[in-house]
């Protein structure tokens, strides 16, 4: 568990086997291309509310989620011979309010799309967690990387239920690394620097 293999000469993506260890995550850098293999748990808005409630009640993450990765997505029912017909990442900012508490409680990584808040960036740095981004608009393609799907909790929430997915080389990028370096911030600064050099014409 938690193995990491970096392609020779950094020519290809980094292979991460989930559940990921803190050591494996600490070796990643913002901007790294990664492929993920192993279990993740889907969680969107409603599930985050339920998890926070149980965390406050019990003082720990439920359902064995400590050390696990959350994927912000609502997989659709099986289709085309796949356990999930489609798997589109959800805009991560919608979960920003709940994320710092979940990271402090033991979630080691999250997967979504788009930038995160400063509070989430700081929480990643403080807890050694990583935020990965998946490509949006390719839900059917991403679903081909799912080998199994099992509802763990909250089935009444439908596609927002807590579902355990078994991934096989899901392609993602490191958006915020365990040191708190943020790819979105870095890219914005580089773009502004290029604009200044070119007199505003980019």
User: How confident is the model at residue 202, as a pLDDT?
Assistant: 43
Nearest to 156 by CA among 51, 47, 45, 42: 47
Lowest-pLDDT choice from 4-8, 105-109, 183-187: 4-8
pLDDT in tens, 77-103: 999 899 999 999 999 999 999 999 999
* pLDDT over 70, % of the chain: 88
Tell me the domains of the chain and their CATH numbers. Answer: 12-197 (3.20.130.10)
pTM score: 0.90
Which residues lie closer than 8 Å to 97 by C-beta, 6 or more apart? none
């Amino acid at each position: 568990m938690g193995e990491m293999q970096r392609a020779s000469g950094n020519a290809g993506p980094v292979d991460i086997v989930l559940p990921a260890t803190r050591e494996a995550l600490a070796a990643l850098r913002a901007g790294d291309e990664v492929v993920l293999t192993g279990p993740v748990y889907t969680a969107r808005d409603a599930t985050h509310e339920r998890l926070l409630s149980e965390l406050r009640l019990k003082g720990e993450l439920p359902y064995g989620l400590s050390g696990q990765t959350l994927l912000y997505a609502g997989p659709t029912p099986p289709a085309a011979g796949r356990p999930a017909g489609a798997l589109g990442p959800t805009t991560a900012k919608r979960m920003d309010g709940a994320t710092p508490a979940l990271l402090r409680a033991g979630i080691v990584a999250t997967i979504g799309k788009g930038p995160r808040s400063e509070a989430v960036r700081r929480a990643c740095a403080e807890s050694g967690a990583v935020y990965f981004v998946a490509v949006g608009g390719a839900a059917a393609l991403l679903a081909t990387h799912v080998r199994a799907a099992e509802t763990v909790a909250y089935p009444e929430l439908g596609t927002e239920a807590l579902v355990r997915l078994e991934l096989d080389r899901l392609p993602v990028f490191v958006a915020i690394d365990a040191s708190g370096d943020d790819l979105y911030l870095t890219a914005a600064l580089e773009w502004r620097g290029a604009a200044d050099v070119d007199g505003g014409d980019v």
